[in-house]
Every structure is written in C-alpha cells, then in structure tokens.
Structure 1
Amino acid sequence: MSYLYLVIAIIAEVIATSALKASNGFSILIPSLVTIIGYSIALFCLSLTLKTIPVGIAYAIWSGAGIILISTIGWIFFKQHLDLPAFIGLGLMITGIIVINVFSKSTHL
C-alpha cells in the first residue's frame, strides 16, 4: 500500500507543479487552487508512505520521479528546451530510481 501512496503523491505533485506554471504566479484562480490542493494531497500521501518506507528512499523516489515527469511535461506542453546534459541527467535519475527499487533492501523498514 505504501507504494500506491507514493505513486499518488508523485502524480499529485506533478499535477500541482504543472498547475503552478499555469497559475502565472498565483494570479489565475483555478490553477492556483489546483496547485494548493495537489501539493496538499502529495504531502499527505507522502506522509503515509513514510510509515513503512525510509524517508531518504521515499523522498529520493518522490522527488526524482517528479523531476523527470515535470521536465517531460515542460518539454512537451510548455515547449521548454532540454539539451543533451539535461537528458543525460534525467536518464541517470531514472537509472537511480530503478536501482533503488530493484536492488536496495532499504525500501522497507
């Protein structure tokens, strides 16, 4: 169940961060509300995850996956440029998340 909460936290954080960009500095109401609600859901679900997954592991997965997804959304929907070093760095993050989940025995308390 912890990984389900972690996935929900990641999705909520990605939605909130995308809405934050669309809120134009909290000057547009609906995206601003989506941002606040999304981050609230993300932090609540992350807190549930921390009951069984160590904080360092959960946060690494949450933030890494969030960065990867937000970078992809920014690239596709907001037409933000990603250069080769950015793609390499994102690839290393993906590799790190896989290594943690497949090989680490630290993912459960």
Structure 2
Amino acid sequence: MNSFVLLAIAIFSEVFGSSMLKLSNGFKKLYPSIGVVIGMGSAFYCLSLAMKTIPLGTTYAIWSGVGTALTALVGVLIYKENFNVKKGLGLALIIGGVVIMKLSAGGSH
C-alpha cells in the first residue's frame, strides 16, 4: 500500500481517536473508550508503516499537523467550539507548513 495512503489512514484514525477521547468522559464511557483505543492503535500502526519509506520528520510533521487541524475542525463543527480569526490563522499556518513538508519529501519516493 502507498505510504501516503497509510499516512492518511493514520491521520483519520488519530482524529477519530481524539474525537472519541472527548466523548469517553475520562474513560468512563465504554464505547467511546474502545473507540479511543482502536483509533489510536490504528493510527500508530499505520504511522509506523508509513515511516518505512517516508522520512521521520516529514511523516510526523504531516501526521501531527493535519491531525491537529482536522481535530480542531471537528471541535468547531461537531462539538460547537468557538472559531475565531486567531484559530483560523493558526489552522492556515499549520496547513501551509504541512504543504511545505509534503513538497520537501516529493522527490524521495
């Protein structure tokens, strides 16, 4: 499987796990707690496979950056957290950084 596909799966699994973490209420609710374990376990497994061919710094920067941005968007869209100019600017900077990291990895695969 393509390493960037594995990285995408790792990102979405981490976002799912983080979202379930909020619902777990400190691991007091069973099903969301199971979702945390499955999401984070899948994320780290796929991340480790992606790192076989994508450089460590690139993999981790993309995973953490996109994961952070998507998790923040889940917070705004699903959990109705506040969205303001500062949060929007921060997300734009994260996405810009991820694009630059992806471009820096371009020729090595």
Normalising by structure 2, we get a TM-score of 0.93
2:7 maps to 6
Task: Report how far residue 108 of structure 1 moved.
Answer: 3.3
1:108 maps to 108
Q: 1:107 to 1:72 in 2, by over 3 A?
A: farther
Question: Structure 1 counterpart of 2:108, which letter?
Answer: H
Task: Report how far residue 107 of structure 1 moved.
Answer: 6.9
Q: 1:52 to 1:26 in 2, by over 3 A?
A: same
Question: Structure 2 counterpart of 1:21, which letter?
Answer: K
Q: Is the 8 A contact 2:58 2:102 kept in 1?
A: no
Among all aligned residue pairs of Structure 1 and Structure 2, give the percentage whose two residues are the same amino acid.
42
In structure 2, runs of 5+ residues without a counterpart are none
Question: Structure 1 counterpart of 2:12, which letter?
Answer: I
Task: Report how far residue 84 of structure 1 moved.
Answer: 1.3
Q: Is the 8 A contact 2:17 2:36 kept in 1?
A: yes
Q: 1:93 to 1:26 in 2, by over 3 A?
A: same
Deviations 1:52-77 (A, max 9, x none): 11111100000000011000000011
Task: Give RMSD over aligned pairs.
Answer: 1.4
Q: How many residues align?
A: 108
Normalising by structure 1, we get a TM-score of 0.93
